[in-house]
Chain A
Amino acid sequence: MASKIRKLLYSLVTIFLAITAIFFIIRLSPGDPIEKILGPEASVTDIEKYREQLGLNLSIGKQYINYLQGFFTGDLGESLFKKKSVVELLKTHLPPSVILAIVATFFSTIFGVILGVISAAKKSSGFDFSFRFISLLALSFPIFSLAPLLVLFFSIKLNWLPVSEWLSFKHGILPAITLIIPLSSVLSRVTRNKYLEEEHGPWVQVLTAKGMSDFSVILRVAKVCLPSVLNVVAIQLSVVLAGTMITETIFDIPGIGSLLFEGIQNRDYPVVQGIIIYSTVIYMGVYFLIDILNEFIDPRINS
């Protein structure tokens, strides 16, 4: 229990440091954001007005306190272009992204583990060979090139699935596949490697010698591989996050990725900052959650 509390404390400190780092990266970077927003021809009064609106006229210490206050009270300012608060925008844009990310991670983990275990258990077979080839190929197409290719094939050529937008279950299939292909490839490769490592352990030999069926032995070995796979899931969350954002912009899904993309294009600083802060916190929360979950599956990890 003590180790879990320590971990929780550690993760809270990390998240706090992360939001502090975000603040200082934005404030201490060269150039005046206001001038960038308004362009070189802006008048001095306009610049002053904007500066006040963003609270940039205060001292850096005050700004930092305001920032932390805003973070904890859920007030991250207003969008510069839409007449809405950043938190409101986040609330409406979060659900599609979260659904997409959860669905993709869930199915990728299942597919990845199953494919990886089969491929390792039947090492050097035709299945293993073609699986390794396909997973390598899948990993070589980044999401933003994979997605247009999938659209080209499934929507335009075969006309099976809609190209974009977020209206029904059918609209979610292609974006989900786009995310599942690379992620399940990574996970299956990890599973395969881990399985091959564990397969020849003495405890596996004991199980086989006792007369346990091949299938049950495979299941036992697979269970031992699970923590490592989940660990990689945690590391890959950053990829899921980036992938979700890119996928959204491609398929016109009104999630935080599209919001961020729009914010970048319009130089809408409060929105960009808000998205980055909250996705960092959510991401880190999940990261540490998996860390703790791993301990439950395999208590040896922490000892």
Chain B
Amino acid sequence: MTGARINKEMKIGGFICSLYLIWAIGWLLYQFFIQGSFSQPYFPSYDITQELLPLGGKYLLGTDIYGRSIFEVLSSGLIYSLTVSLIVSFACAAIGIVMGYLSVTAHASIAILFDLIINLIFVFPSILIAILIMSVSGQSLTGLIFALIITGWPGYARIARGETMRVMSLSYVEAAKAIGVGRLRLFMKVVLPAILPLLLIHIVLGVSGVIISEASLGFLGLGGSEYSWGSMLAVAKTVLLEAPQMVVILSFAMAGLIIGLNLLGDGLRDFLDTQNKS
């Protein structure tokens, strides 16, 4: 057990992620308590006379084409991105665990059916399902979250399925089954604790994946909010010549968060690997 040490990737990734978290919390405080109030939260204000200002000056990072402060819009986008990706990732993980478990332990015919569904959605190009759902449901937040969950959970189900299979064949699980431990109890006491660490890695990596997917949809005009980083980038792209700084700022803000999450996920994986080996 002592062999596992917190590695460098985890430290750097964790540091970057906490910076973004502090930023998000700071903005929420500002939005709900300092500038606005709880009943009337503050949102970035328009001032069309102040459009596309460069860096520095009154607006920290300049303004966008509607004359909103890029920093404020970016902050709202961060909150939006994090909320969507956390909801989606946890929902996907929950559905994935249950479906993965059922596809191993349920009656054979149900197991085959689940397997088929998981494989079907898995090979289906996910962006197309998302586009399909979004283009039918219209641009709404619930539609977006629904679309991302539908395309996201089979990945978790596959992992949960593999892990469940591994755990179920261990001798202590066989013993538990032999003395008649119920299916639900087996799931709560044996399977869940065994697969949670592995799923944690995938949730961390999954959050960055969802951020990218959400932004891709936003970029294509299928986002759930005007603050989606993707739709902001789509706007920034149209003023590439006049205000190149906008694309640069947005790209690097987004890349920073993704790097942080990816490093944290990779680091966690190595950490758990060495822990398992020692």
Cross-chain contact A279 with B138 (CB below 8 angstroms):
no
Residue among A14, A33, A265 making CB contact with B221, cutoff 8 Å:
A265
Which partner residue on chain A sits nearest B125 by CB separation? A238
Those of A22-52 within 8 Å (CB) of chain B:
22, 25-26, 29-31, 33, 36
Tell which of A29, A143, A148, A267 touches B137, judged by Cβ atoms closer than 8 Å: A29
Flag whether B79 is at the interface (Cβ < 8 A): no
Cα A132 to Cα B138 with chains together (Å) = 40
Q: Which residues of A contact B135 (CB under 8 A)?
A: 264, 267, 269, 272
Q: Provided the pairs A145-B255, A245-B127, A280-B128 are in contact, do residues A140 and B262 lie with their beta carbons within 8 angstroms?
A: yes
Q: List A residues 101-125 near B (Cβ within 8 Å).
A: none
Within 8 Å CB of A195, what residues of B?
Answer: none
Task: State A17–B219 Cα separation when bound (angstroms).
Answer: 29
Contact between B125 and A142 (Cβ–Cβ < 8 Å)?
no
Q: Closest CB-CB distance, B259 to chain A, in whole Å?
A: 4
A144 interface residue, CB < 8 Å from B? yes
A144 touching B219, Cβ below 8 Å: yes
Interface of A is mostly: helix
Segment at the B interface, from A65-73, A149-157, A169-177, A214-222:
A149-157
A261 at the interface (CB under 8 A from B): yes
A contact residues around B234 at 8 Å (CB): 144
CB contacts under 8 Å to B, within A245-276, are: 245-246, 249-250, 260-261, 264-265, 267, 269, 272, 276
Q: Knowing A142-B212, A246-B216, A249-B220 touch, does A152 contact B128 (C-beta < 8 A)?
A: no
On whether A250 and B237 interact (CB within 8 A), knowing A29-B137, A149-B251, A152-B247, the answer reads yes
Q: Which of A14, A26, A148 contacts B119 (CB 8 A)?
A: A14
Q: CA–CA, A269 to B123, complex, Å?
A: 24
B residues in contact with A269, CB < 8 Å:
135
Is the pair A139, B125 in contact by a Cβ cutoff of 8 Å? no
CB distance from B261 to the nearest CB of A (A): 9
Contact bitstring B248-263, A, C-beta under 8 A = 1, else 0: 1011001110110011
* Contact in complex: B230, A144 (CB < 8 Å): yes
Interface residue? A207 (CB, 8 A): no
Chain B residues with Cβ below 8 Å from A272 are: 131-132, 135
Are B247 and A260 closer than 8 Å at their CB atoms?
no
Q: Are A26's CB and B259's CB within 8 A? A: no
Chain A CB within 8 A of B236 CB: yes
Most buried by A among B116, B120, B137: B120
Give the Cβ gap from B202 to chain A, nearest Cβ, in Å. Answer: 15
**CB nearest neighbor in B for A261:** B220
Contact A276–B244 (Cβ < 8 Å): no
B259 touches A136 (CB 8 A): yes
A241 at the interface (CB under 8 A from B): yes
Which chain A residues border B125 with CB–CB below 8 Å? 237-238, 241-242, 279-280, 283
Residue interface mask B108-137, A partner, CB < 8 A = 1: 000000001001100111111101110111
Answer yes or no: A18 CB below 8 A from chain B CBs.
Answer: yes
| Interface check A137, CB cutoff 8 A | yes
Of A17, A25, A152, which one neighbours B244 at CB under 8 angstroms? Answer: A152
Is B240 a contact partner of A156 (Cβ separation < 8 A)? yes
The yes or no answer to A284 lying at the interface (CB within 8 A) is yes
Which residues of A are found within 8 Å of B237, using beta-carbon distances? 144, 148, 250
Instruction: Tell whether A21 is near chain B: CB-to-CB under 8 Å.
Output: yes
A149 to B123, Cβ gap below 8 A? no
Q: Which of B221, B241, B244, B247 contacts A264 (CB 8 A)?
A: B221
Contact between B233 and A148 (Cβ–Cβ < 8 Å)?
A: yes
Beyond A148-B237, A156-B240, A242-B125, 12 extra complex contacts between A and B, CB < 8 Å:
A14-B120, A26-B136, A31-B137, A144-B230, A145-B233, A145-B247, A146-B251, A152-B240, A245-B220, A264-B131, A272-B132, A276-B128
Which 4 interchain pairs have the tightest Cβ spacing? A145-B251, A242-B127, A238-B125, A140-B255
22 A-B residue pairs with CB within 8 Å:
A14-B119, A17-B120, A18-B124, A136-B259, A136-B262, A137-B255, A140-B258, A141-B254, A142-B212, A142-B254, A144-B230, A148-B247, A238-B126, A242-B127, A246-B216, A250-B237, A260-B131, A261-B220, A264-B135, A269-B135, A272-B131, A276-B128
